[in-house]
Protein backbone atom coordinates (compact mmCIF):
# COMPACT_ATOMS: atom_id res chain seq x y z
CA UNK A 1 0.00 0.00 0.00
CA UNK A 2 1.17 3.50 -0.73
CA UNK A 3 1.92 6.07 1.96
CA UNK A 4 2.21 9.83 1.72
CA UNK A 5 4.29 12.18 3.83
CA UNK A 6 4.02 15.93 4.01
CA UNK A 7 7.12 17.49 5.45
CA UNK A 8 5.68 20.59 7.00
CA UNK A 9 3.07 20.45 9.71
CA UNK A 10 2.49 24.20 10.00
CA UNK A 11 3.81 26.96 7.78
CA UNK A 12 3.45 30.63 8.69
CA UNK A 13 4.32 33.31 6.17
CA UNK A 14 3.52 36.85 5.18
CA UNK A 15 1.50 38.00 2.21
CA UNK A 16 3.45 38.08 -1.05
CA UNK A 17 5.91 35.47 0.21
CA UNK A 18 6.47 32.35 -1.84
CA UNK A 19 5.12 29.03 -0.68
CA UNK A 20 6.41 25.53 -1.24
CA UNK A 21 4.90 22.49 0.43
CA UNK A 22 6.63 19.15 0.21
CA UNK A 23 4.95 15.84 -0.53
CA UNK A 24 6.60 12.47 -0.94
CA UNK A 25 4.98 9.12 -1.51
CA UNK A 26 6.16 5.56 -1.25
CA UNK A 27 5.02 3.39 -4.12
CA UNK A 28 7.14 2.00 -6.86
CA UNK A 29 4.51 1.90 -9.57
CA UNK A 30 2.39 4.40 -11.45
CA UNK A 31 0.39 6.89 -9.43
CA UNK A 32 -2.19 9.61 -9.72
CA UNK A 33 -1.30 12.63 -7.60
CA UNK A 34 -3.52 15.33 -6.11
CA UNK A 35 -3.38 18.40 -3.95
CA UNK A 36 -6.53 19.33 -2.07
CA UNK A 37 -7.19 22.48 -0.08
CA UNK A 38 -9.62 22.95 2.78
CA UNK A 39 -10.37 26.54 3.78
CA UNK A 40 -11.51 27.11 7.37
CA UNK A 41 -14.95 25.61 7.86
CA UNK A 42 -15.22 24.52 4.24
CA UNK A 43 -15.00 21.28 2.32
CA UNK A 44 -12.15 19.73 0.38
CA UNK A 45 -11.48 21.32 -2.98
CA UNK A 46 -9.15 20.02 -5.65
CA UNK A 47 -6.26 22.41 -6.35
CA UNK A 48 -4.58 20.36 -9.03
CA UNK A 49 -3.95 16.84 -10.22
CA UNK A 50 -1.38 14.86 -12.14
CA UNK A 51 -2.24 11.79 -14.17
CA UNK A 52 0.42 11.76 -16.90
CA UNK A 53 2.27 14.00 -19.34
CA UNK A 54 3.93 17.30 -18.42
CA UNK A 55 5.23 16.91 -14.86
CA UNK A 56 4.65 20.60 -14.15
CA UNK A 57 0.97 20.97 -13.40
CA UNK A 58 -0.89 24.24 -13.06
CA UNK A 59 -3.96 24.41 -10.87
CA UNK A 60 -6.45 26.93 -9.63
CA UNK A 61 -5.69 30.11 -7.67
CA UNK A 62 -2.14 30.39 -9.04
CA UNK A 63 -0.89 27.10 -7.60
CA UNK A 64 1.38 24.71 -9.43
CA UNK A 65 3.04 21.41 -8.59
CA UNK A 66 5.93 19.47 -10.03
CA UNK A 67 6.05 15.70 -10.21
CA UNK A 68 9.60 14.37 -9.90
CA UNK A 69 9.34 10.65 -10.42
CA UNK A 70 12.92 9.89 -9.38
CA UNK A 71 12.31 11.57 -6.04
CA UNK A 72 8.76 10.26 -5.56
CA UNK A 73 7.76 13.85 -4.93
CA UNK A 74 4.91 16.16 -5.86
CA UNK A 75 5.64 19.52 -4.28
CA UNK A 76 3.15 22.36 -4.33
CA UNK A 77 4.21 25.94 -5.03
CA UNK A 78 2.76 29.41 -5.22
CA UNK A 79 5.00 32.38 -6.05
CA UNK A 80 3.09 34.96 -4.01
CA UNK A 81 0.55 34.02 -1.37
CA UNK A 82 -2.45 36.00 -0.21
CA UNK A 83 -4.19 36.12 3.14
CA UNK A 84 -7.01 34.08 1.56
CA UNK A 85 -4.61 31.16 1.05
CA UNK A 86 -4.80 30.43 4.75
CA UNK A 87 -6.03 26.84 4.78
CA UNK A 88 -5.20 23.19 5.31
CA UNK A 89 -3.43 21.55 2.36
CA UNK A 90 -3.49 17.81 1.72
CA UNK A 91 -1.44 15.82 -0.74
CA UNK A 92 -3.05 12.58 -1.93
CA UNK A 93 -2.00 9.63 -4.03
CA UNK A 94 -3.63 6.63 -5.56
CA UNK A 95 -1.85 3.74 -7.15
CA UNK A 96 -2.77 2.54 -10.63
CA UNK A 97 -3.91 0.09 -11.63
CA UNK A 98 -6.00 -0.13 -8.54
CA UNK A 99 -8.86 -2.38 -7.71
CA UNK A 100 -9.87 -0.47 -4.63
CA UNK A 101 -9.65 3.19 -5.72
CA UNK A 102 -8.11 4.08 -2.39
CA UNK A 103 -6.83 7.61 -2.05
CA UNK A 104 -4.00 7.87 0.47
CA UNK A 105 -3.72 11.28 2.12
CA UNK A 106 -0.79 12.94 3.75
CA UNK A 107 -1.21 14.30 7.27
CA UNK A 108 -1.80 17.80 5.93
CA UNK A 109 -0.04 21.13 6.25
CA UNK A 110 -1.66 24.10 7.94
CA UNK A 111 -0.74 27.28 6.10
CA UNK A 112 -1.25 30.59 7.88
CA UNK A 113 -0.72 33.75 5.86
CA UNK A 114 -0.33 36.93 7.84
CA UNK A 115 -1.54 40.19 6.34
CA UNK B 1 -23.25 18.96 -12.98
CA UNK B 2 -19.94 18.36 -11.21
CA UNK B 3 -21.30 18.48 -7.72
CA UNK B 4 -21.70 16.06 -4.86
CA UNK B 5 -24.42 17.10 -2.46
CA UNK B 6 -24.83 15.98 1.13
CA UNK B 7 -27.65 16.37 3.60
CA UNK B 8 -27.99 17.43 6.30
CA UNK B 9 -25.21 19.98 6.70
CA UNK B 10 -25.27 19.65 10.46
CA UNK B 11 -26.62 16.90 12.68
CA UNK B 12 -26.77 16.64 16.45
CA UNK B 13 -27.84 13.31 17.87
CA UNK B 14 -27.92 11.45 21.12
CA UNK B 15 -26.23 8.13 21.65
CA UNK B 16 -29.52 6.24 21.40
CA UNK B 17 -30.77 7.92 18.23
CA UNK B 18 -30.93 6.53 14.73
CA UNK B 19 -30.19 8.92 11.91
CA UNK B 20 -29.05 8.81 8.30
CA UNK B 21 -26.69 10.86 6.17
CA UNK B 22 -27.41 11.22 2.48
CA UNK B 23 -25.18 11.82 -0.50
CA UNK B 24 -26.09 12.33 -4.15
CA UNK B 25 -24.17 12.81 -7.38
CA UNK B 26 -25.28 13.08 -11.00
CA UNK B 27 -21.94 12.81 -12.73
CA UNK B 28 -22.45 9.20 -13.76
CA UNK B 29 -19.77 8.05 -11.36
CA UNK B 30 -19.95 4.39 -10.37
CA UNK B 31 -17.66 4.58 -7.32
CA UNK B 32 -18.80 6.32 -4.16
CA UNK B 33 -17.05 6.76 -0.85
CA UNK B 34 -17.63 7.67 2.78
CA UNK B 35 -14.86 9.37 4.75
CA UNK B 36 -14.62 10.57 8.32
CA UNK B 37 -12.58 13.70 9.03
CA UNK B 38 -11.51 15.12 12.37
CA UNK B 39 -10.39 18.74 12.65
CA UNK B 40 -7.09 19.48 10.92
CA UNK B 41 -6.65 15.79 10.03
CA UNK B 42 -6.85 14.11 6.66
CA UNK B 43 -10.01 12.26 5.68
CA UNK B 44 -10.09 8.62 6.77
CA UNK B 45 -11.70 6.20 4.35
CA UNK B 46 -14.65 4.27 5.78
CA UNK B 47 -16.42 2.59 2.87
CA UNK B 48 -16.16 2.26 -0.90
CA UNK B 49 -18.97 1.27 -3.22
CA UNK B 50 -18.24 0.20 -6.75
CA UNK B 51 -21.16 -0.40 -9.11
CA UNK B 52 -23.49 -0.18 -6.12
CA UNK B 53 -21.71 -3.00 -4.33
CA UNK B 54 -19.70 -2.57 -1.16
CA UNK B 55 -16.08 -3.18 -2.11
CA UNK B 56 -14.23 -1.84 0.90
CA UNK B 57 -15.11 -1.63 4.58
CA UNK B 58 -12.17 -0.25 6.50
CA UNK B 59 -13.02 -2.12 9.70
CA UNK B 60 -15.68 0.42 10.56
CA UNK B 61 -17.81 -0.36 13.65
CA UNK B 62 -21.22 -1.80 12.89
CA UNK B 63 -22.95 1.25 14.35
CA UNK B 64 -22.19 2.77 10.92
CA UNK B 65 -24.15 1.06 8.15
CA UNK B 66 -23.75 2.17 4.52
CA UNK B 67 -26.28 1.70 1.79
CA UNK B 68 -26.17 2.40 -1.95
CA UNK B 69 -29.76 2.30 -3.25
CA UNK B 70 -28.75 3.24 -6.80
CA UNK B 71 -25.83 4.61 -8.77
CA UNK B 72 -26.53 8.22 -7.73
CA UNK B 73 -27.26 7.83 -4.04
CA UNK B 74 -25.26 6.81 -1.02
CA UNK B 75 -26.55 6.68 2.55
CA UNK B 76 -24.86 6.21 5.88
CA UNK B 77 -27.13 4.94 8.63
CA UNK B 78 -26.09 5.79 12.16
CA UNK B 79 -27.16 4.01 15.33
CA UNK B 80 -25.92 4.03 18.90
CA UNK B 81 -23.02 6.33 18.14
CA UNK B 82 -20.42 7.43 20.65
CA UNK B 83 -19.24 10.99 21.34
CA UNK B 84 -15.90 10.16 19.69
CA UNK B 85 -17.81 9.62 16.44
CA UNK B 86 -18.37 13.37 16.25
CA UNK B 87 -16.65 14.52 13.06
CA UNK B 88 -17.16 15.80 9.54
CA UNK B 89 -18.48 12.99 7.32
CA UNK B 90 -17.54 13.41 3.70
CA UNK B 91 -18.97 11.70 0.68
CA UNK B 92 -17.05 11.46 -2.58
CA UNK B 93 -17.57 9.96 -5.99
CA UNK B 94 -15.35 9.06 -8.92
CA UNK B 95 -15.23 7.20 -12.16
CA UNK B 96 -14.20 3.61 -11.98
CA UNK B 97 -10.87 3.03 -13.65
CA UNK B 98 -7.43 4.53 -13.96
CA UNK B 99 -8.21 8.23 -13.68
CA UNK B 100 -10.42 8.18 -10.64
CA UNK B 101 -10.31 11.74 -9.43
CA UNK B 102 -12.55 11.89 -6.40
CA UNK B 103 -15.06 14.71 -6.13
CA UNK B 104 -15.94 15.57 -2.55
CA UNK B 105 -19.18 16.83 -1.12
CA UNK B 106 -19.36 19.58 1.51
CA UNK B 107 -19.81 17.10 4.33
CA UNK B 108 -22.15 16.63 7.26
CA UNK B 109 -20.91 17.98 10.57
CA UNK B 110 -22.02 15.39 13.11
CA UNK B 111 -22.12 15.98 16.86
CA UNK B 112 -22.93 13.08 19.15
CA UNK B 113 -24.02 14.06 22.63
Question: What pLDDT band is residue A100 in, cutting at 50, 70 and 90?
Answer: low
Question: Taking 90 as the threshold, does the pLDDT of residue A41 lie above it?
Answer: no
pLDDT digits (tens, 9 = 90+) for B7-58: 999 999 998 899 999 999 999 999 999 999 998 899 999 999 999 999 888 8
Question: Taking 70 as the threshold, does the pLDDT of residue A98 lie above it?
Answer: no
pLDDT digits (tens, 9 = 90+) for A43-65: 899 999 999 999 999 999 999 99
Torsion on CA atoms B100, B105, B108, B109, rounded to nearest 10: 90
Backbone φ and ψ of B65, nearest 5°:
-130, 110
Question: Taking 90 as the threshold, does the pLDDT of residue A38 lie above it?
Answer: yes
How many residue contacts between A and B have a Cβ separation below 8 Å? 54
Contact B101 A90 (CB under 8 A): no
Q: Mutation test of the interface with chain B: which of A29, A41, A42, A44, choosing the one with the most B Cβ atoms within 10 A?
A: A44
How many CA atoms are closer than 13 Å to the CA of B104, on its beta-carbon side? Answer: 23
Q: Give CA B65 to chain center in angstroms.
A: 10
Q: What is the mean pLDDT of residues A74-102?
A: 90
C-alpha span between A92 and A48 (Å, rounded) = 11
Amino acid sequence: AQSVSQHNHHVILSEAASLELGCNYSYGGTVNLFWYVQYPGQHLQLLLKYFSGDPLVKGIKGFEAEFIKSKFSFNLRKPSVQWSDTAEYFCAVNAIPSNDYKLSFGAGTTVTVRA
Amino acid sequence: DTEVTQTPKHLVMGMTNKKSLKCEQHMGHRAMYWYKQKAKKPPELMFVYSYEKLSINESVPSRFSPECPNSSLLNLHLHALQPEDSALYLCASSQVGTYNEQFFGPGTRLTVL
